[in-house]
Structure 1
């Protein structure tokens, strides 16, 4: 028979062990991270041979669970009255052992018949295996309590049957043992669930593993679970230590860069890679993509010229392909870049796709597609991402938000709003929250719901002060820009607009990224009634179209910019307006096209032109509404409104402001407001959003 706890005292035959109990702070730190693993671990370190007595681990949470009616006093009395061997059984159960008579006989060195009796006594006692730990420790004594746990560990190691939850629990209970520490590190290294890995690393340190040897791996695992504070604390330690292994230093930089990117400050990620310099070689392509995104093309080129170190893995090939694609977006045009990005995406599957990196290849593919008017390609990239994403992972929420953004551009406001509800804005990282807040503002702006727009704008105030702008956050900046102008607080985003302009200037104003920014600039000039600003951004779009070698998206934006200039100068060319508006719609900007046609209709001096352009605006709006499910309830009849109210309703649904409607109908903005209030009361709408839905269901804004 193997050595029992009576023989072992404080050591096992397999490893050196110490009876010293970990400090309270160490136990608390590891215990917090290990709790989730104890509840959720499903893996085995190795299979256990079936027992002929009973299943040893299946009874952990059933036979010895404390009943609700059992009082603390009864629990104390039960333990006080228990003999040493029964207390030993209780100690084994606290570590996750089942009531296996064969195992009890081996660990406690008792006869088989005695072990069976102990099993029956333990079943009748129904002691809470968690809450009873202090009482059992006190009753057995610390030395004997740990001796039982060591003997239990020895038995499980001998049969290769130590389960993850048991290994973690043993470490939490104070067992220090080299073999246990090694098993826990091995468990953490192989665990697919980052929560289990994080708990196992923490427990390994409690069991005696050298914290320095697992620091980099523990750092990355903490970040994968979303514990950014712990991860960054380890990053700081690894970067500050002069003797940190180069590979561990690269890991620390990659993790730190990932966390800073999630905080919405990509330039800090770039700072880390610049600091690492030539030591970035294995992650040089990752660094290059970050540096391009942060507006440092020279630094990115330096990284791409670094010699390749290590084998040509799929991960390195995908990183290189993405970095080369980013170079194309800066130096040439979007078409070859999009192909390269999707090639990089195709190289990523399984573990490669789940790597912790400062950026998601699928997200960059989707963003670049949106920036260049290819919504179907963006959807394809995000669909591919869902194949490897798991809810709660670092990339899941961002990919969902991008899918919502694509839906918003396509006119499917309901799906976009559903995404916001799904991800839960308040729980997001700063980077993801930026997209969520901007999307909420964009939806409110498109629906004409000024109250919701103001509410979402105010919710974004603190965020605006905390983030910085990079190539990958130009889209939300554009919506914040327009929202700020709408609520009269554009000065709050001026510093971010300046950052974006400086960023694009440093990169040579690359059309693949800059066109969307300048298009938002055109919209901002229109809303702010600032013709000079419009001229500036329209000119940038024109130059981009000239440089883009037939790029339809660049040409469409440039043409629309020139058309807007003419419209605001009251030079209405209905054919040109319709052509520009429909081209915008075809490229995923139907709302913008309807807005252009509607403004031209508002300024047209003859009825025929105004009516024709208004029909264009209606048809473009209708093309969006086809994607939005109709309300379930039966809408009121259009006869419920007077002729004047019907005119007002039509223009409200098309997105005109009260002032613009008043100018079109030759009434004051205040009168328009009164008309809207009467329409809302007459239809029984509880909010402006509900009013708009009801009017659309009645046919306003969508009739040909």
Structure 2
């Protein structure tokens, strides 16, 4: 609307940055208005003490004041009004003026412009610096017909074009005011293109303003969608791309496909990303071939990836960005090799180069995220953390990618048995941008919460996190880059007897790995998760194929050899025929490959089944050494009772002293609690006071980390082997 127009500054006219023109102080402005006020309405509406003055750049003028000022202007000379209107629109003094005003001035004589300015200043409508008084400016823009204002604006744009001056922010003001002019639209598009890869948020605003100025909506669709996706607005990006891809001859098609693939990937549907590249075809994929390879390998289509991208390909240009793209494709293909150490260095190089380029491209996944994932699958969480910190510092991928990087950082911290750092990173992910977590990130976050709860031994927290994960998994599909969270959910499902909830997804994961030839780097951690799930699922038969797979992979993978030895130790512990030396060696080997919690859990279980007190104490000491800050020892001892039940051991055999984390007196109280006894009844049975019974129960609750009574009952059943089976 006309009332929203704002003038250009002198800096816009000369095309260079200057400080804003000083504005008059409020007393000076009010004095000028007082001089101009010839009617009671103006005096009453503008000059009353305490009445706030409207900002001519942002605030609309009150209708009564606008009318009063307009009445005053009608009493002025027509030439003065024309001068004030021109200056309000954006013309400057000194500088070119509208042709009509120039003609009027020329007809009055050479000195008349100075006289015209002097009359405007003496009337109080124009400040000495050449600025129209705010209320006067707004009144002029409000009361002047829109067509007249736009005509003056177009004339001013013509002056910019003729002189070769950049319009800068003035172009944005014109677009927001409703002026449709191809020159303004072109200026805004050009500015948006320059900022797209470095500041997509600003680019998105500029493209939107270009549309207001009359830009072709289809011509900028791919770039607008790229900007929207980069700031995390997936819905807007998707709608724009849908409109582009259904058009007969879409411009910037390859970029549009890249954006579509990135959006599908963030929605947790990487197979749709691969479908988009398949639709594009090898003949049109061009420099996007590495992205196509990432998407296709992620959903198990190795042949399609190789058809799109040859690993020996070289970048079309020697830029950092082009090399980073090619290295990403090479690195992800090499992770499928029998030697699992080949791909990680290549992906790290790709991440470093993308960091150095400072650009934000639409990608199914960034090289930083992929390199971190490979490091985590290689049991190198410290390296994953270093990669992620560098990517975050460089702003790799823009704001839309920050949550994923923070969540992978949290996974690295969890794997290193540092739950506090993991939760800090999760918190950073939640506030990394103003949008809710995309489905892919929400799924990863929910699996993290499950993993942290499982490691803490908090049964209630585990159940709550599991419910969140169950909902999150409904919004995603299985892909190669989500195997870590699926492995965590596999174990936790077994722990909670909820395996049926994830069985379909796990089948899809095994099929995906089989289609890729079972690459050790990706398959080994998943087999290890299956081993742990089989132990908790009371299914020794399910354990055998995964243990055998680890043994086979041990020929080329040090991690696989460590996990195979750990699996063998687990089997010996469950059979009750283990040597403390072997179990401790396996546990410390797990710690050496970045899995300290898993090592502590193994020796904790072994301690719960040790026949000799010296072995039990040694194993407990090892567990505390590997996991000094948490409750793994007590949790593992409680789980030991559960797996003892799975192995068919003697349920009436008591736990060794202290393995459950409870004293003999507390165990006696616990049995009575599980029978439903009250404090008074427990006191009568044990010849203690009800207050003492309450004290015992409170101490057990603190020691076991129970949050409420139902949580305490679950933990007590796990701690006392004789109470695991339901009463007959």
Taking structure 2 as the reference length, the TM-score comes to 0.75
Distance in 1 between residues matched to 2:236 and 2:224, nearest whole Å: 9
Q: Which consecutive residues of structure 1, in runs of 5 or more, have no partner in the other structure?
A: 1-20, 23-30, 626-648, 693-704
Alignment match of 1:83 (pick from 73, 76, 83)? 73
Residue 318 (structure 1) shift? 2.4
In structure 2, distance between residues paired with 1:50 and 1:58: 20
Structure 1 residue 651: Cα displacement: 4.8
**Equivalent residue in structure 2 for 1:393, among 381, 388, 399:** 399
1:434 and 2:432 matched: no
Q: CA deviation at 1:269?
A: 0.5
After the TM superposition, which of the residue ranges 528-537 and 401-410 deviates more from structure 2? 528-537
5+ residue gaps, structure 2, are 27-51, 103-112, 645-653, 675-693, 713-728
Residue 227 of structure 2 corresponds to 221
Aligned 8 A contact 1:314 1:347 in 2: yes
Aligned to 2:385: 379
Q: 1:506 aligns with which of 507, 512, 515?
A: 515
Match among 545, 554, 576 for residue 554 of structure 2: 545
Alignment of 1:250-649 (within 5 A): 250-278=254-282, 279-305=284-310, 310-351=316-357, 353-389=359-395, 393-424=399-430, 427-546=436-555, 548=556, 551-622=557-628
Contact 2:335 2:343 in 1 (8 A): yes
CA distance in 1, matches of 2:72, 2:587: 85
Residues 505 and 232 of structure 1, relative CA distance in 2, 3 Å threshold:
same
Sort the Cα spacing of 1:274 and 1:50 in 2 relative to 1 into closer, same or farther, 3 A. closer
TM-fit CA distance, 1:528 = 2.4
Task: Name the CA distance, whole Å, in 2 between partners of 1:326 and 1:118.
Answer: 69
Q: Give the secondary-structure state (helix, strand or coil) at the position aligned to 1:512.
A: helix
Inter-partner Cα distance in structure 2 for 1:686 and 1:163: 66
Give, in whole Å, the separation in 1 of the partners of 2:25 and 2:392.
35
Deviation at 1:161, TM superposition (A): 5.6
Q: 1:102 to 1:46 in 2, by over 3 A?
A: closer
Taking the aligned partners of 2:264 and 2:59, their CA distance within structure 1 comes to: 50
C-alpha contact (below 8 Å) 1:287/1:303 kept by paired residues: yes
Q: What is the distance in 1 between the residues matched to 2:516 and 2:492?
A: 27
1:242 Cα deviation (Å)? 2.9
How far off its partner does 1:434 sit?
Answer: 1.5
Counterpart-to-counterpart distance in 2, 1:453 and 1:162? 59
Matched, 1:656 2:646: no
Give yes or no for contact 1:261–1:358 (8 Å, CA) kept in 2: yes
Structure 1 residues 138 and 527, CA, compared in 2 at 3 Å: closer, same or farther? same
TM-aligned CA deviation for residue 225 of structure 1:
2.2
RMSD value, Cα: 4.1
How far the C-alpha of 1:460 sits from its partner, in A, is: 2.4
Secondary structure of 2:218's counterpart equals: helix
Q: Is the 8 A contact 2:360 2:397 kept in 1?
A: no
1:362-383 Cα deviation digits (max 9, x unpaired): 1111110110111232122112
Q: For residues 456 and 89 of structure 1, what CA distance do their matches in structure 2 show?
A: 68
* Residues 382, 399 of structure 1: 8 Å contact kept: yes
1:123, CA displacement in angstroms? 7.8
Matched, 1:120 2:127: yes
Higher mean Cα deviation, 155-164 or 603-612?
A: 155-164
* SS state at 2:474 partner: helix
Q: Structure 1 pair 352/100, CA: closer, same or farther in 2 (3 Å)?
A: closer
CA distance in 2, matches of 1:367, 1:675: 47
Residue number in structure 2 paired with 1:696? none
String of CA shifts for 1:67-97, please: whole Å, max 9, x gaps.
99999454444554353789879977987x5
Computing the radius of gyration from Cα coordinates, the structure with the larger value is: 2
Does structure 2 conserve the Cα–Cα contact (< 8 Å) formed by 1:578 and 1:613?
yes
Q: 1:519 to 1:143 in 2, by over 3 A?
A: same
Deviation at 1:526, TM superposition (A): 2.2
Structure 2 equivalent of residue 181 of structure 1:
185
2:69, 2:136 within 8 Å by CA — same for their partners in 1?
A: no
Does residue 144 (structure 1) correspond to residue 148 (structure 2)? The answer is yes
For 1:337 and 1:609, the matched residues in 2 are separated by: 42
Contact 2:360/2:398 (CA < 8 Å) preserved in 1? no
CA contact (8 A) 2:569 2:582 kept: yes
Pair 66,280 (structure 1): closer, same or farther in 2 beyond 3 Å: closer
Secondary structure class of the residue paired with 2:565 = helix
Question: Size of the alignment, in residue pairs?
Answer: 615
Change (3 A) 1:152 1:452: farther
CA-CA distance at 1:422 after TM superposition? 2.0
In structure 1, distance between residues paired with 2:314 and 2:216: 31
Q: Distance in 1 between matches of 2:552 and 2:134?
A: 80
Q: Is contact 1:45-1:164 (8 Å) kept?
A: no
Asked if structure 1 preserves the Cα contact closer than 8 Å seen for 2:458 and 2:705, the reply is: no
Offset of residue 281 of structure 1: 2.8
Q: For 1:233-262, what per-residue CA distance to the aligned partner results, in whole angstroms no more than 9, with x for missing partners?
A: 2222332223224xx111111100001111
Deviation by residue 1:353-412 (Cα, 9 ceiling, x = unmatched): 522211110111111011011123212211221231179712212111111111111111
Residue 699 (structure 2) pairs with residue 679 (structure 1): yes
Cα deviation 1:3-46 (Å, max 9, x = unaligned):
xxxxxxxxxxxxxxxxxx99xxxxxxxx9xxx9xx9xxxx9897
- Range with bigger deviation, 399-408 or 482-491: 482-491
- Aligned residue number for residue 169 of structure 1: 173
2: CA distance between counterparts of 1:174 and 1:479?
54
CA distance in 1, matches of 2:469, 2:136: 48
Deviates more, 1:485-494 or 1:372-381: 485-494
Structure 2: distance between partners of 1:91 and 1:342: 60
What's 1:698 paired with? none
Structure-2 separation of matches of 1:568 and 1:651: 17
Q: CA 1:209–1:581 in 2, change beyond 3 Å: closer, same or farther?
A: same
1:602 deviates by: 1.0
Q: Distance in 1 between matches of 2:704 and 2:298?
A: 49
Secondary structure of 1:605 counterpart = coil
Provide the TM-score with structure 1 as the length reference.
0.77
User: Does 2:71 correspond to 1:65?
Assistant: no
Distance 1:90 1:678, change over 3 A: farther
* Greater relative contact order structure (CA < 8 Å, 6+ sep): 1
In structure 2, distance between residues paired with 1:507 and 1:340: 20
Measured after TM superposition, the shift of residue 321 of structure 1 is 2.2
Deviation per residue, 1:650-696 (Å, 9 max, x gap): 953667359559745585875688998421677999958xx99xxxx
Higher mean C-alpha displacement, 512-521 vs 193-202:
193-202
Report the Cα distance in structure 1 between the residues aligned to 2:524 and 2:636, rounded to whole angstroms. Answer: 25
d(CA) in 2 for partners of 1:119, 1:684: 78
